[in-house]
Amino acid sequence: MLTLRSGRVAWDTVPVTDPPYRVVATDLDGTLLRSDLTVSERTRRALALVADAGAHHLVVTGRPATACKDFLAGLGYRGLAVCGQGAQLYDAATDRLLESASLDLDLARDVVERAEAVLGTLELGVVTAPPESRFKVTPRFGERVRHGWDVTTDRSLLWASPIDKLVLHHPEVPEDDVAATVAELCGDAVSVVHSVKGMVEVLPPGVTKGAGVARAAALLGFTGADTIAFGDMPNDIPLLAWAGHGVAVANGHPELRRMADETAPGNDEDGVAAVLERLFAPATPAAAPVPVLREEAAHD
């Protein structure tokens, strides 16, 4: 306000609109990342809009934290990351693993025994617990065996150290059917998710991306109503169900697209960026508070 007689100046500001969502939770593979595992410049700009609006970006991925560190560093990511399908909470700013849940070894062996009694012989993999976090698999994962994985013909070596997850592959039975069978056989004793073609993951009970992102958002002071979430596979269903608005990308699994609130363009068409641009782009060039001069009556 401006008082003309005394020369005293006081300022009001134009209220700034709150961002439409306080938390933007994104899956990585098949969603935020293109098929070549890169983040496009358009997506980087869209994430910058989110940050400029004062909202938080949460990475929510099936990858273990150790497999995310280099990628997150390259993205300039300094926030919390939900890793291991929700089993781990990682602080990228301090390079600290805040939480980590492990799968009981006896329970994992029991799952294999029950599943093979119905489905026949399965190829097996495990992700060992931190700090090792190695992917150990039996040989017939075939083309799914990637550089750096430990391949063994001796199943007993899979149970030689604590594990975060068990991974199942059947050369003939589709992964959706394997997942449904294991879930029916084991009930609530474990969490069963399908996130990668040909693989079914068995996790500690109660572990989901939705539960993981709920814990991360709570640390930031927010809830599902404050959150928009993006995903592409059935393991993202709990994530999208928890969020106030759930977005599937067009290349996503049909089951996820059916339950999502919205379907965005595919990951190779920067679908996440397209939605974020629509929601977070400034309405006017001047996004900062604008000072307004207002005359105030002078005091005699």
Task: Enumerate the domain spans of the chain.
Answer: 23-101+207-280, 105-203
Decide if 23-101+207-280 and 105-203 have a common fold: no
Pairing of strands 163-169, 199-203: antiparallel
pLDDT at res. 13 = 39
pLDDT at residue 15, as a whole number: 39
228: closest CA among 37, 15, 56, 34? 56
Contacts of 184 (CB under 8 A, 6+ apart): none
Tokens for 81, please give them.
């990351």
pLDDT given for residue 289 in this prediction: 52
Q: Which residues of 198-212 are buried (b: 16+ CB within 10 A; e: fewer)?
A: bbbbbbbeebbbbbb
Averages of pLDDT over runs of 10 residues in the chain (300 residues) are 41 58 98 96 97 97 91 91 97 95 97 97 92 86 66 92 95 93 96 90 97 98 98 97 98 97 98 98 60 44
pTM: 0.85
Q: What was the pLDDT predicted at 8? A: 46
pLDDT value, residue 253: 95
* CB neighbour list of residue 285: distance below 8 Å, 6 or more residues apart: none
Question: What topology does CATH give the domain 23-101+207-280?
Answer: Rossmann fold (3.40.50)
Helix axes 41-52, 271-280, angle to 10 degrees: 30
The CATH number of the structural domain formed by 105-203 is: 3.30.1240.10
Q: What is the pLDDT of residues 37-92, one digit of tens each?
A: 999 999 999 999 999 999 999 999 999 999 888 889 988 999 999 999 999 999 99
Question: What is the distance between the alpha carbons of residues 95 and 99, in angstroms, rounded to a whole number?
Answer: 12
